[in-house]
Amino acid sequence: MANALFYSSPWIDISSSVVAAVAVYITSLVVYRRWFHPLAEIPGPFWASVTHFYIVKYNLFSERSQFYLQVEKLHRKYGPVVRISPDEIHLADPENYEKLHYVGSKAPSKAPYFYDAFGLKIAAFGTTSNELHRIRRAAISPAFSRKAVLQLEDIVQEKTAKLINRIKDLLDEGKPVDLHHGFRALSVDIITDYSFDNDYKQLDSPTFGSDFYEMTSELITRGWVLQAFPFLLPLSDLITLPMAKRINGALYEFLLFRKRCVEQIATVKKEIDEGRDKSKHKTIFHQLLDPNASEGHVVPNVEELTEEMFTILTAGGETTGHAMTMITYYVLSNPEIYRKLVSELKTAFPEKQTTFDYLTLEKLPYLSSVIKEGLRLSYGVPGRLPRVIETPDAIFNGYRVPKGTTVGMSAWMLNRNPQNFPEPEQFIPERWSDPEKSKRLENKYFAPFGRGSRQCVGMHLAYLELYIGIGSIFRNFDRLRVDNFGPEDLEFDDYFGPFFRPTQNKFHVALDA
């Protein structure tokens, strides 16, 4: 009797109805997305067309986070335009780059779902609205203009000289030098000095601050988790220091570091506001705290300044340090390139010294070619930078794309296009030696710092660091060799930047016998 009542219960009927309704909904959604969606004509794998978890699978549930490689495979199979999720396509044709990255009120805006995961909505980097981004960027841009950056040369020279002396001391002791962390320490100390008038002293650390790098690397990998499950982002703000200590060591260290940053920023802001500022030089925060920094600029509070600081520190420390690492590896791996570069530097600077004039360095043709080729193969952000189309019916390679579609391109494919860069996997500085050809590539097919209104604001500072850093290394050391590091160690995961696994060999150099 009880069983009969149970099986005839209205709850069973309701449950069956719910299951049936869900099944109908999912089936209808799949049918719509695959065959009736505005992007239905664009080729791509079936699962990519019906679920956003196609991307999540490669970012989170594969052995390595290398969706950029999967996208490359898809283009080989399907052509220059590929559908990688129900509402997003990826482009391979370099001719399309300028259609996505240009200056203008109708320029494609940043895709919120992608950039919101970084939790930096207030900083200029995370601002998806073009108009709001214009205001925020205008406020900070003067601090990174070429004129402002040239005034930082003494700081960059001082930090670089410290790195050179550290390298000399280690080599004299017969020890290999960890330049993977050494170059990153250089960049972090430069950007924190410019931010606070007080650097983080990573160059003074016996390990070049490797613990700081490992902490930030481990946490930045969580970005894809928050992108896949955005509801976790507000929950992450609720985690306290005691909770983090029990959950994850790196998370605890990060929150502790963030707390110190907030305190440091609050102190700097208070001193500037009260006229007690004793900075040796103008800092980034001086610019941001100027109420007249730009039209419509609102002086940021401590929380907003902290967001900007985290953006600047991550972008300024990691990407430039990585580029210097790759350039040094490729030069040392090719004796002829090494010889030509050292020869040019010796001609320009006959005597070894600790400082090398930037305006002289940037005019050296072979050094410039080496740096450009290194930027091409270091892939500042290897994966896609999704943009939302703001104009009706954009056309890419014959495919009509409606307004609101998310469209992306990647540096990995742009920088390896064989039509523009023959033998794309090879480090060939000579490809930049013809001024006319080099100008054509730079104007249209080479964008290591992006292009348009969202171009990296720190480009001039990055070039200052690269020219002085690389020039100083190869003028002072003409007998270096790569130590226990090979092509297999160049493979990286994409976490909005190229990141190496903790288990991978890190780039070291030693004296050649």
CB 172 within 8 A of CB 489: no
CB 165 within 8 A of CB 203: no
Q: 395-442: per-residue pLDDT in tens?
A: 999 999 999 999 999 999 999 999 999 999 999 999 999 999 999 999
Candidate from 9-13, 172-176, 437-441 with smallest mean pLDDT: 9-13
More confident residue, 84 or 268: 84
The secondary structure of 201-241, three-state, reads CHHHCCCCCHHHHHHHHHHHCCHHHHHHCCCHHHHHCCCCH
Torsion over CA: 227, 307, 112, 88 (sign): negative
More confident residue, 275 or 193: 193
Q: Which H or E run contains 187? A: helix 179-196
Per the annotation, binding residues are 456
pLDDT for residue 55: 95
Which residue do the tokens 């002085």 mark? 468
DSSP states along 390-454: -SSSEEETTEEE-TT-EEE-BHHHHTT-TTTSSSTTS--GGGG-SHHHHHHHHHHT--TT--GGG
Which residue do the tokens 């030693």 mark? 510
Average pLDDT score over residue span 270-278? 79
pTM of the model: 0.92
Average pLDDT score over residue span 436-455? 89
| Separation CA 300–CA 288 (nearest Å) | 7
- The structural domains of the chain, with segments of one domain joined by +, span 87-511
| Separation CA 325–CA 473 (nearest Å) | 11
Q: 20-72: per-residue pLDDT in tens?
A: 888 888 999 999 999 999 999 999 999 999 999 999 999 988 888 999 999 99
In sequence order, the 6+-apart residues with CB closer than 8 A to the CB of 181 are: 207, 208, 209, 210, 213, 506
Percent of the chain with pLDDT over 70: 95
Candidate from 22-36, 283-297, 349-363 with smallest mean pLDDT: 283-297
Per the annotation, binding residues for heme are 456
Average pLDDT score over residue span 471-486? 95
CB 78 within 8 A of CB 94: no
| Separation CA 130–CA 454 (nearest Å) | 9
What distances in angstroms separate CA 177 from CA 183, 188, 332, one per listed residue? 11, 18, 14
Q: What is the CATH number of domain 87-511?
A: 1.10.630.10
Which residue do the tokens 């002829």 mark? 336
Q: Which H or E run contains 177? A: strand 177-178
User: Which class for 231: exposed (0-12), middle (13-18), buried (19 or more C-beta within 10 A)?
Assistant: exposed
pLDDT for residue 125: 61
Confidence at 171, pLDDT banded by 50, 70, 90: very high
Mean confidence (pLDDT) of the chain: 88
**Dihedrals phi, psi of 305, to nearest 5 degrees:** -65, -35
User: Which class for 128: exposed (0-12), middle (13-18), buried (19 or more C-beta within 10 A)?
Assistant: middle
